[in-house]
Amino acid sequence: MTHSAILAAAGLTPADLSGGTLAVRSPIDGAELALVRETDPAAMPAIIARAQTAFHAWREVPAPRRGELVRLLGEELRAAKTELGALVTLEVGKITSEGLGEVQEMIDICDFAVGLSRQLYGLTIASERPGHRMAETWLPMGPVGVISAFNFPVAVWSWNAALALVCGDPVIWKPSEKTPLTAIATMKIMDRALARFGDAPDGLCQLVIGGPEIGAALVASKAVPILSATGSTRMGGVVGPQVMARWGRPILELGGNNAMIVAPSADLDMAVRAIVFGAVGTAGQRCTSLRRLIAHHSIRADLVARLVKAYASLPVGDPRKAGTLIGPLVDTAARDRMLAQIAKAKAEGGIVHGGTPVTADVPQGAYVTPALVEMPVQTETVREETFAPILYVMGYDSLNEAIAIQNDVPQGLSSCIFTLNLREAETFLSAAGSDCGIANVNIGPSGAEIGGAFGGEKETGGGRESGSDAWKAYMRRQTSTVNYSAKLPLAQGVRFDV
Ligand code: UN1
């Protein structure tokens, strides 16, 4: 299919693709896909005001009825899966099955949120006073600003939007400047769901396109009580304090520097498969990508030999082609950062396998072979997150040492151990184990299901999105004590007779 056929199939019209100043290029071949119109920063107050008006209506709609809108969104996404997945591939460079997987993740969170719309449970609490009842109720909070990154251009919006909508909150979405087209196409899918729903308030789901100025308006506005931001630690370090300074609630999903410990008892065949998907899948551009391998000295050489062999046969190229496993990096700047980091690691004593640009038999994008870098120790370069397929390999003797290496980075998103030893597995998951928001046993660090809460600690930002009780971040908790007695006893036995 040609680029224009993919754009058209995803519902994008000539008006969506022209008349603006934001140039969108496909990482596949650098072709300019569109000149998208950006939101005028001066329009932001009106956009936020519309969301506030929508909030006042939407919060009154019963939650299961709000869930119906998300159910319809899930249906529309199912119908549009192939076309939206192909657009993700075109705009981000993901291989076909990962583009489709991203849309599947959107469908999954819709299903989850529909069920959730009947399960926004609060606790009842035993009161210490006779004739009193205590309970907590979860209530809608207000407009949610969603600032998303290029690498999951639509799934991250859906994690936030599906929960926010059932929780009674409107959504204002600022996608990455690199990926406005998938966002526009997704809003058209949302519009179809809204049309079928019938009476949702205007301004319930809005899209704003542009640079930092647009994001800054969401970050600064007291009328946007929740701000969910996915991206770099640097961005989160600016956004988080600003939202908190105006007493808003940030939900941050920032950098990861995810590790795998491979113990002597590990099933190495399984470990190799998990390592390769984790480190080179999505061309190493997931927050959860595997970046550090901590292998026991007794199996390290064997593991590295297997990986060098596996890496050598990985098909790099056009992500639309059947059989390709590694598509392009998002742009040449990402490739240059990757090469610079590899050079730094080499200067720190790293032995580098792969990690070179690929130009033969590929279109004109930023294609690379994935890099495997054997490091003597965990250096400063290893402790930095590089959004590219670089896997640093280090060795260890004792599990405690391995856990210490795993935890000795500023980020705390995802982690895993490959072991068949129960003591090691449980130690890794214990209070003295991994310090990450996600810790897995015998599966890699990436490709998390939507059912769990997603996010991490330390410089990853502490936010949780998606499953489990992450919905609570989108609501306000009200604790109520009701006195149905004819007396007014005080708590803690306090006497105050008047
Ligand atoms: C991200 O890279 O921002 O666990 C999210 C995964 C995906 C989400 C990644 N479900 O890899």
Catalytic residue among 110, 205, 287, 416: 287
Q: Ligand 1: which atom is nearest the Cα of residue 438?
A: 4
Ligand 1 centroid vs 160 CA: distance in angstroms? 13
Residue whose CA is closest, atom 11 of ligand 1?
447
CB 136 within 8 A of CB 480: yes
Confirm or reject: Cβ of 151 under 6 Å from ligand 1: yes
Is the Cβ atom of 230 under 6 angstroms away from ligand 1?
yes
Residue 2 Cα to ligand 1 midpoint, Å, equals 28
DSSP state of 450: T
* Alpha carbons 180 and 187: distance in angstroms, whole number: 11
The CB-side HSE value for 223 (13 A sphere, CA atoms) comes to: 16
Residue 458 has pLDDT above 90, yes or no: yes
CB distance 50 to ligand 1 below 6 Å: no
Contact 456, 414 (CB under 8 A): yes
The pLDDT assigned to 498 comes to 87
The helix/strand/coil state of 281 is: helix
The two three-digit tokens of residue 457, written as one number: 């600690």
Structure-token pair, residue 326: 């590694």
H or E stretch at 291: strand 290-296
**Is the Cβ atom of 446 under 6 angstroms away from ligand 1?**
yes
Contacts of 96 (CB under 8 A, 6+ apart): 85, 86, 89, 319, 320, 322
What is the whole-number distance in angstroms between the Cα of residue 324 and the centre of ligand 1? Answer: 20
Alpha-helical (H) ranges within 207-314 are 212-220, 233-245, 268-280, 297-312
Whole-angstrom distance, CA of residue 79 vs CA of residue 86: 13
CA-446 nearest atom, ligand 1: 11
* pLDDT for 65 beyond 90: yes
Query: Token pair for residue 10?
Result: 């995803």
- The protein residue whose alpha carbon is closest to atom 3 in ligand 1 is 287
Decide: 405 in ligand 1 pocket, CB within 6 A. no
The answer to whether residue 106 scores a pLDDT higher than 90 is: yes
Give 243-271 as a DSSP string.
Answer: HHHTT-EEEEE----EEEEE-TT--HHHH
Report the distance separating Cα 419 and Cα 406, nearest Å.
15
Helix (H, G, I), strand (E, B) or coil at 434: coil
272-308, pLDDT tens digit by residue?
A: 999 999 999 999 999 999 999 999 999 999 999 999 9
Instruction: Write the pLDDT tens digit of every residue in 464-495.
Output: 999 999 999 999 999 999 999 999 999 999 99
* Mean pLDDT, the chain, integer: 98
Ligand 1 in reach of 440 Cβ (< 6 A): no
- Number of Cβ atoms within 10 Å of the Cβ of 26: 23
Q: Quick check: is 287 catalytic?
A: yes
Q: How far is the CA of 280 from the centre of ligand 1 (A)?
A: 14
Interval between CA 352 and ligand 1 midpoint (Å): 27
- Which structure tokens are listed for 437? 């928001």
What secondary structure does DSSP assign to 436-449, as a single string? SSEEEESS-SS---
Distance 195 CA to ligand 1 centre (A): 30
- Taking residues 49-56, what's their average pLDDT? 98
Closest residue CA from atom 5 of ligand 1:
287
Over residues 362-410, the pLDDT tens digits come to 999 999 999 999 999 999 999 999 999 999 999 999 999 999 999 999 9
The C-alpha atoms of residue 432 and residue 400 are separated, in whole angstroms, by 9
Atom of ligand 1 nearest to the CA of 289: 11
Cα–ligand 1 centroid distance for 491 (angstroms): 47
Mutate to test the pocket of ligand 1, among 232, 454, 464 (most ligand atoms within 8 A of CB): 454
Q: Which amino acid, residue 335?
A: R
Q: Model pTM?
A: 0.97
Question: Which are the contacts of 164, defined by CB distance < 8 A and separation ≥ 6?
Answer: 144, 170, 171, 226, 474
DSSP character at residue 465: E
Q: Tell me the pairing of strands 22-25 and 453-454.
A: unpaired
Is 25 strand, coil or helix? strand
C-alpha of 345 from chain center:
27
Q: How confident is the model at residue 429 (pLDDT cuts 50, 70, 90)?
A: very high
Q: In testing the pocket of ligand 1, which one of 100, 105, 152 has its CB within 8 Å of the most ligand atoms?
A: 152
Q: How confident is the model at residue 433 (pLDDT cuts 50, 70, 90)?
A: very high
DSSP E strand boundaries for 305-452:
351-354, 357-358, 367-368, 371-374, 390-396, 411-412, 414-418, 438-441
Which is nearest to 144 in space by CA: 238, 57, 243, 211?
Answer: 243
Is 173 touching ligand 1 by the criterion CB < 6 Å? no
Ligand 1 centroid from CA 392, angstroms: 20
Would the CA dihedral through 435, 438, 441, 442 be positive or negative? negative
